[in-house]
Structure 1
């Protein structure tokens, strides 16, 4: 917890907070999860110190004041913010993210007998209520449809990607072909690939649901893979992380999530499609599978979702009913070809 205390000194001033974060770390939560918990709880503790409130005895009015501050806080993103749905400087998702560690911290205090109740509300079952009897949480959760690029926008992105090094072209093709999340893509290892059957293994340790899965990729992506492996050999012949950095500062080191995000951001701005992100290819692939007639259960299995409810949130129903241009290539389970054209990325 030393690094987190340096980043958030307020955590070092509250013994219970440090103890709570250490428990989550000892239980094996990822460093990124611990960092997000530290940020949310740290901001709450700072608000308590500023208002002269003992966080261990904070009540619902203190939580409401914290939420009000989050809602009215100016956005640090400035002109880079594309859309806000909270009515202020933080998106609804960011508000939820800040409140989760605060709620879990108070759960911990209740379990330890420090206090009797948790002042942070959550959705809960209430007998007599309609449709499942679920009460609304402290901050209503907004579930938005994913943004899906139009065919012309997708082709604009592909056009810019075609001039990129083979590593970046392969990563985009795989992100779409196999509906990979950013961490799943960047964490691929050399022994996860089965070129003979054109499949790759997505390790349980890299997925959100901690469920391993095997997914196919297209023949054209296989061509890119062969080209990249020949190039990778000039950087390193060692087995391990598949995608390597080519920066002069850390040549042949594993490619980080942030580097891939920066690559995609640079390219989509050049393409004039700023809403495109590292997760867009996943939304796009799952929507295209639904367009081609796949059943929701099959798409859920392909995506690695625990339930079809998650899958339905990923699939944009408005897109399913658009006529638009015909897709370039029909999906075939036997051939594992992509729904949308990514050919042309191979040189």
Structure 2
């Protein structure tokens, strides 16, 4: 069997049988495509040549390319998952990736916007939102909900209309590992979302239906956020709109939607929210994943010090 064939079978299994998220499947697909290309260029395209030495050579090449330690660690995790599946499927006598070790890396603090920056950014987006431009109303609702509910971009884009409780101001989210959680959102997000659903979403769906035959399947009536062509709003489209706005704000670091999630978590902690509550809101299975936000919550730390320390 060719290595590429085994990879295709593995990706089908993790998507259809294991129920991994689209984000995880895409990461596996990307990493293993590079690995297969390396194996084929090394003339080791058959599965029986897939051993720990081949994997180590590929990882060494990746390191020589100057990739971050976090990227290499993800590559190792991908190979380990693939190797475990190969062994369980009895395609190889043992897991070839069992002795791989990920490089240690210092944990970088996430980019977080200050309160004033967040207010300024959202005000800028709201000022452009007008009924005669349904995309602008949609984008305003997207920005408000990303920040208000601290959603992952994949969670936001996969939200169905039925997942929104406008009366209770909550959204029912399907997160990593198909874990469901209910997340609240506040007044500004509620107003933006209500306006979008009443005025903009119908326009986007009607426009898409008029542009293509109904049989084309392009119109997704179940999706909360409709794209310009009537289908579900895509992750890449959200990345572009967020990057554009974050580029207007001072400060370095990532410009993706995850910055809104980092910012929301930090602002919650600054406001006095319990770490366990923030963990539940973010959908983290481990508290250690949430604790990174305590390192950037300096305002809360300083306030606690002033209130509690006798020599403050």
TM-score interval for Structure 1 and Structure 2 normalised by the shorter chain: 0.7 to 0.9
Give the corresponding residue for 1:295: 274
Q: State the alpha-carbon separation in 1 of the partners of residues 123 and 286 from structure 2.
A: 35
**CA distances 1:309-340 after superposition (whole Å, capped 9, x unpaired):** 22113x14243346899xxxxxxxxxxxxxxx
> TM-score, normalising length from structure 1?
0.70
Give matches, 1:162-311, under 5 Å: 162-164=126-128, 165-202=136-173, 204=174, 207-231=175-199, 232-236=201-205, 239-246=221-228, 250=229, 252-272=230-250, 275=253, 276-311=255-290
Give the corresponding residue for 1:6: none
Q: State the alpha-carbon separation in 2 of the partners of residues 240 and 36 from structure 1.
A: 27
CA contact (8 A) 1:176 1:282 kept: yes
Q: State the alpha-carbon separation in 2 of the partners of residues 186 and 14 from structure 1.
A: 31
Name the Cα RMSD after superposition: 2.9
Q: State the alpha-carbon separation in 2 of the partners of residues 19 and 225 from structure 1.
A: 41
Displacement of 1:221 in angstroms is: 2.1
Residue number among 6, 9, 15 corresponding to 1:16 in the alignment = 6
> TM-score, normalising length from structure 2?
0.77
CA contact (8 A) 1:189 1:242 kept: yes
Q: Is 1:104 the equivalent of 2:94? A: no
CA contact (8 A) 1:92 1:141 kept: yes
CA contact (8 A) 1:265 1:274 kept: no
CA contact (8 A) 1:39 1:98 kept: no
Q: State the alpha-carbon separation in 1 of the partners of residues 164 and 91 from structure 2.
A: 50
Q: State the alpha-carbon separation in 1 of the partners of residues 108 and 191 from structure 2.
A: 36
Residue number among 73, 80, 102 corresponding to 1:138 in the alignment = 102
Q: State the alpha-carbon separation in 1 of the partners of residues 8 and 270 from structure 2.
A: 49
**CA distances 1:261-314 after superposition (whole Å, capped 9, x unpaired):** 11111222244556342011111111122122222112211222222122113x
3-state DSSP class of the match of 1:196?
Answer: coil
Give the corresponding residue for 1:7: none
More helix, by proportion = 2
Q: State the alpha-carbon separation in 2 of the partners of residues 104 and 116 from structure 1.
A: 13
**CA distances 1:153-203 after superposition (whole Å, capped 9, x unpaired):** 33443343233322111111111111111111122222222222222222x
Structure 2 unaligned regions, length at least 5: 129-135, 207-219, 304-312
Q: 1:201 to 1:107 in 2, by over 3 A?
A: closer
CA contact (8 A) 1:178 1:215 kept: yes
3-state DSSP class of the match of 2:183?
Answer: strand
Q: Is 1:47 the equivalent of 2:41? A: no
Q: State the alpha-carbon separation in 2 of the partners of residues 304 and 258 from structure 1.
A: 22
Q: State the alpha-carbon separation in 1 of the partners of residues 156 and 12 from structure 2.
A: 29
Give the corresponding residue for 1:68: 60
Q: 1:117 to 1:208 in 2, by over 3 A?
A: closer
